[in-house]
Amino acid sequence: MNAPEFDIKGYLNEKKPFFTSLSDQIWEHPELHFQEKFAVGTMEEALTAEGFSVTKNVANLETAIMGSYGNGPTVIAFLGEYDALPYLSQEGGKAEYNPIEEGGAGHGCGHNLLGVGSFAAAVAAKAFVEKTNAPFTIRYYGCPAEENGSGKAHMVKQGVFDDVDLAISWHPNFFNSTMNLRSLANYAAVFKFKGRSAHAAAAPHLGRSALDAVELMNVGVNYLREHIIQDARVHYAVTHTGGTSPNVVQPYAEVTYLIRAPKKEQVVEIYNRIQKIASGAALMTETTFEEQFEGTASDLIPNETLAKVMQAQFETAEPLEFNDEELQFAGKIFETLDSESKAVAHSILTQEQKNQLGDKRLCNVITPLAPEAMLYGSTDVGDVSWVTPTVQCTTTCLVLGTPLHTWQVVSVGKTSIGHKGMLYAAEIMARTAISCMENPQVIEEAKDELKKRLNGQKYTSLIPTN
Q: What is the pLDDT of residue 465?
A: 86
**Distance between CA atoms of residues 345 and 326, nearest Å:** 18
Which residues 6+ apart lie within 8 Å of 228 measured at CB?
A: 234, 261, 270, 273
Quick one: CA torsion of 361, 320, 405, 170, rounded to 10 degrees?
A: -150
Q: What is the pLDDT of residue 24?
A: 98
Question: H or E stretch including 220?
Answer: helix 210-224
DSSP string, 179-205: --EEE-EEEEEEEEEE-B--BTTT-GG
The answer to whether 271 and 187 have CB atoms below 8 angstroms apart is: yes
Nearest 5°: the CA angle 437, 446, 386 is 115
Q: What is the pLDDT of residues 7-22, one digit of tens each?
A: 999 999 999 999 999 9
Q: What is the pLDDT of residue 61?
A: 97
pLDDT mean values, one per 10 residues, the chain (466 residues)? 72 98 98 97 98 98 98 97 98 98 97 98 98 97 94 97 98 97 97 98 97 98 97 97 95 98 97 98 98 96 98 97 98 96 84 89 94 94 98 98 97 98 98 98 98 96 89
With 0-12 CB in 10 A as exposed, 13-18 as middle and 19+ as buried, what is 209? buried
Q: What is the pLDDT of residue 2?
A: 43
**Distance between CA atoms of residues 430 and 3, nearest Å:** 10
Q: What is the pLDDT of residue 351?
A: 86
SS3 80: strand
Amino acid code (one letter) for 210: A
**Distance between CA atoms of residues 100 and 94, nearest Å:** 11
Q: What is the pLDDT of residue 22?
A: 98
**Strand stretches in 7-153, DSSP E:** 53-56, 65-69, 74-81, 136-143
C-alpha distances (whole Å) from 223 to each of 210, 217, 220, 261, 281 are 20, 10, 5, 17, 13
What is the set of domains in the chain, with CATH numbers? 3-183+299-454 (3.40.630.10), 185-297 (3.30.70.360)
CA 433 to chain centre: 21
Among 168, 164, 162, 386, which residue's Cα sits nearest to residue 264? 386
Number of Cβ within 10 Å of residue 259's Cβ equals 26
Amino acid code (one letter) for 297: A
DSSP string, 369-433: -PPPEEESS--THHHHHHHS-EEEEEEE-S-TTPPSSSHHHHHHTTSHHHHHHHHHHHHHHHHHH
Which residues 6+ apart lie within 8 Å of 446 measured at CB?
A: 166, 303, 305, 306, 389
Query: How many H helices and E strands in the chain?
Result: 15, 13
**Distance between CA atoms of residues 174 and 416, nearest Å:** 14
**Distance between CA atoms of residues 297 and 406, nearest Å:** 23
